[in-house]
Chain A
Amino acid sequence: MTTFGWIDPVLRSARPQAIGALLRYFRDLDQAEEAFQEACLRALKNWPVNGPPRDPVAWLILVGRNVALDDVRRRSKSAPLPADDAISDLEDAESDIAERLDSSHYRDDLLRLLFICCHPDLPAVQQIALALRVVSGLSVKEIARAFLVSEAAMEQRITRAKSRVARADVPFETPGAVERAERLGAVAAMIYLVFNEGYSASGGSVHVRTPLCEEAIRLARLLLTLFPGEPEILGLTALLLLQHARAAARLDADGAIVLLDDQDRRLWDRDLIAEGFALIDKAVRHRRPGPYQIQAAIAGVHAHATSSKDTDWSEIDQLYATLERLQPSPVVTLNRAVAVNKVQGPAAALAMIEPLAEPLAGYFHFFGVKGGLLMQLGRANEARVAFDQAIALAHTTAEAAHIRLHLDRLIKESQPA
């Protein structure tokens, strides 16, 4: 860490709220980003000399706004330019803006910024890319690497996404309660997408992308700071923490997938698990269950268990049943079948997933689970067919390699000893 190593994390963490506020001033995403960029450059020059401002976010917003206004003046050549010193001494102006930008303002600014990124017209990948670029401040290069596309292709995707949201006309007035709740729901879903993209990559040779998971957790925590009493945001954050706690155990040294049953649970991050439980405890007190809280509870049951054998699978079965009622989806049923297999055996689980064949015809995990159940039932030929289908649908080389292991075992077992 260099002498001024503290500046980078401060700028990074100030970004979402500063851009959110600048967006409210300029009503233009590009202009807000440019103003923030300029403010950061000034901070890098000014802060090492004058020390950190009392409220870095307010400083950046004020400077960003002033710089942009200067720019307008410069172009019109009317007013004389203020000396750079004038904006470097911000103590008074800063405390003034800090008061006006109270937490409720910050809250709606940030929510609006996140909400713009999850415009329903944007495909999921573009939503994620836009949020990572604009809100998290990842470089196009970093995002391109995460999605395994060229920098130029990602640049184009983000530009396209930006022009799409520019036409979307998101209102800048302070939202009403219903609108705020809708925005919050959409933003939570987007953060979950970011995490999922990191947790189980949609393509390529890298199966887990830790930076995306960490970024999603950072966004969830940020959202939770602004909405501390929202049980579903508590649930979402807990879910991400509990899932991410297993990251170190999910792949072996060669990058091959290690299933939950076989994971070395000593590698699970106990700090993240403890924090996840603390958030679940808080959420439960509200007595307003929702899908994220239930999924967090399921992850919590796993986190509690010292081994797969000690896992309370009937509790998991029941939690999935509740989730099915709240949010019916074939994927939820498929996950429930895994628990049913542990409680009632493979025949019951297979019967449960049979109706899913059509809706999940293109889903890798459906054929993976189906193959596994058939294998347990000794129906080797059918299992092989299912595994072959799974490999054809695998998104990452790790997924394909994992299924191939099962196939190898089937072939080995079918050969006479």
Chain B
Amino acid sequence: MSLVNFTTREITCKIVYYGPGRSGKTTNLHYVYGRVPEARRGRMVSLATQTDRTLFFDFLPIDLGQISGFSTRFQLYTVPGQVYYNATRRLVLQGADGVVFVADSQARQLDENIESLQNLQSNLLELGVDVRTLPVVLQYNKQDLPRELILQAADLDDALNFRGVPSFAADALHGKGVFETLKGISELVLKRLAAGSAI
């Protein structure tokens, strides 16, 4: 998938929200959806189970309009978090220009976070993507929960962010940190243009 098409003057960014089940990936997308003017957003496709768990994936296209002469589109995807949907996850991950890893800040979820992160790495490896060059940011979600239940951003950094990528504390339900995260990953993805190394 081409990130920048100079012939048609289009920029398309595919950003995948990854993370363990119930960490708040879909919530992120919902918040973004709620803030994008109607004319700018496509229909959000959400295939969910009865209990609102993502079954297949969420898809939110955003049209940013003409930027520097390029019609710019963002496509936001989420993957199903549950362990047994790995094939779907890999499918969604294919061709991603950037990944937002949404971690659950709850202390008792730390193992799930680590497991999911490892799953991300192995899936990327199988897709032949170099983890070191793919833009990735971390989001520590649910920071609004009582302090005694969660790990602080600094602790999570120690536990998860061994590559030293940008990380954001967030409360996706209320929107805190959602756009910061999106901005963070967009910048990383778009900066690869400047380096002239588009995928």
Is the A/B pair a real complex? no
Interface set of B (CB-CB < 8 Å, partner A): none
Interface set of A (CB-CB < 8 Å, partner B): none
